[in-house]
Structure 1
């Protein structure tokens, strides 16, 4: 019987050799694709990898914590990072049921998941992120380095600062390998031999943050055009976290509100008056329903002066403005009670 089965098997192979060959090749290609797919997160470019600004693309189990995260980002003076931290939370938490929703236990010097109070987790997590952010800004590394350091620890900031100041997957691998060697860590998963942390952490976090919709012709397009808008915002992002500086109008002095708009708009070839009042006077007034990213948003009564207009910001859509105010340079919520109480309206300038 065994001999007969062997003969039948041989006949089957001979008669169907083409189909079998195609099947084997297809299986090989499929396996190769799966293996390559394991590391696509480090190969796929993320357009907004160095920008903390956007809308968190997260499921309901993460979005439910927005109010709590917003409370503590406001408490620690980094309200503009709320959506980014929700994107980070999704990477940290996934679909886990733990109440350490920002995985803050280890940052607090405790064993993993020791914290089982969401309020405590967010408090520690936001506070820890702010300390990482401040060190990164002090050492003048890019934002991607700051993100990766939430996973690696702040030693990565020092490492990148001494190696050009910009994060890359290659630098993350080198750092991981060095740290794993120091601690004699080994692993057999996809990270091997880079067994310290996750060297693809930046890409995994930033894919959860949708960039602001600035495409010309899109739902939320900028009337000044995509190229001009990007030039302005790319320049503005260089100064996120800088303190407000009265009468400042350039990077050497720092920026007040109108100095910030004057400097950034100049990068798109748009010349503006020096004061918020002057910028109000040269802009075309538009109703709130027609405001688009790149328009101005004007305020009154934010400090004592004879001028009617006392503050100006760059409207970004989605209830946000990019400006320099008492809490520093960054994205701020125009729907907060303070800003609502001082709002005058919106304006637009032509290039």
Structure 2
């Protein structure tokens, strides 16, 4: 009987110890997540302006890594849209970039594919800048190859579907193939030339979201602010030549709509009507405290765009989800600009 009681006691102690270990693990995970949200603003910035699948978004961090390495952080959204078109995020060679190295299709693994695809896109951007052609030419060249940049430069400075079509016609010798994509059906009855994909710009662009606001002032502000998505955060920056800090971005963007805001986050807070976030409308400002030691209570500001999202000069500049633990911890509230 005593042996049985001892066994029960040891079992109970063992279960209690396991429960204690589980509690410690839970606490460790909680602390780790909280520290991560406090120390890394990059982790809380979300890609805005595009609508791509979860299979593509899981590659976002790696795309950002190599976009930063090759100096094209502002093109992260474009690179993700390219992944959606090329593979839907599901193939090993997600950017289908093996062939840009002269390798057979699907040779590269996922990270090598993203590294090479991003490098290739950066090389095309430099070539386009030297030739004076636009960014849609670069997107089409990702599919056609760099020769398309020279082709456009000799005929125009802007991409057009007509140029993409004529390039494919020349390269294919006029050979056609039926093509079931809805864009092709809409444009020319559902065929394309047997060289590359002359609808590539349309295929990539369909994943971009152009935010629309009923308020004309808000639309002007956001049209300007979105030009700098992907730009790095620069303390003291207040114009496109230097990039921006948080209040520099809001001051610059609102000025385009004829609204003159003071320079710092604290000063902008002081001149607005203070309202809770629940009453905020697109175009209001959102304010935060203690995000760094600035010597003032208000230390960060962003533009509210609706649905608990803001657009702000994080690092890089972009959208952020206001429901995350980091922003909730530092949130003061919204501010409506007095006009």
Asked if structure 1 preserves the Cα contact closer than 8 Å seen for 2:238 and 2:245, the reply is yes
**Higher helix residue share:** 2
Q: Answer yes or no: is the 8 Å Cα contact 1:79–1:332 preserved in 2.
A: no
Q: Secondary structure at the match of 2:313?
A: strand
> Which position in structure 2 is the counterpart of 1:72?
62
For residue 268 of structure 1, the aligned residue among 233, 257, 265 is: 257
**1:29-61 residue CA offsets vs partner (Å, 9 max, x unmatched):** xxxxxxxxxxxxxxxxxxxxxxx95341x5xxx
The Cα of 1:257 is off from its aligned counterpart by 2.4
User: Partners of 2:229 and 2:122 in 1: how far apart?
Assistant: 13
Query: How far is 1:72 from its partner?
Result: 1.4
1:273-294 per-residue CA deviation (whole Å, 9 max, x = no partner) reads 1211111112233333343432
Listed as ranges, the gaps of 5+ residues in structure 1 are 1-51, 217-224
Are 2:168 and 1:173 equivalent residues in the alignment? no
- Counterpart CA distance in 2 for 1:303 and 1:134 is 36
1:254 and 1:75, CA in 2 relative to 1: closer, same or farther beyond 3 A? closer
Q: TM-score, normalised by structure 2?
A: 0.64
Asked whether 1:54 is paired with 2:49, we answer: yes
Number of residues paired by the alignment?
278
The match for 1:200 is 199
- Residues 222 and 253 in structure 2, CA contact (< 8 A), matched pair in contact too: yes
Aligned position for 2:226: 237
- The structural deviation recorded for 1:145 is 3.2
Residues 1:252 and 1:289: Cα distance change in structure 2 (over 3 Å): same
Distance 2:308 2:65 in 1: 19
CA distance in 1 between partners of 2:222 and 2:207 (Å): 21
Q: Could you tell me how far 1:322 is from its partner in structure 2? A: 2.9
- Which SS does the other structure have where 1:310 is aligned? strand
Q: Give, in whole Å, the separation in 1 of the partners of 2:150 and 2:303.
A: 33
Q: Pairwise CA RMSD of aligned residues?
A: 3.9
- Choose 272-281 or 202-211, whichever is displaced more: 202-211
- Matching of residues 1-351 of structure 1 within 5 Å: 53-56=48-51, 62-67=53-58, 69-76=59-66, 77=68, 84-93=78-87, 98-115=91-108, 117-126=109-118, 128-129=120-121, 132=124, 142-157=134-149, 160=152, 165-176=157-168, 180=171, 187-189=175-177, 195-212=194-211, 214-216=212-214, 225=215, 227-251=216-240, 253-317=242-306, 320-327=309-316, 329-332=317-320, 342-351=330-339
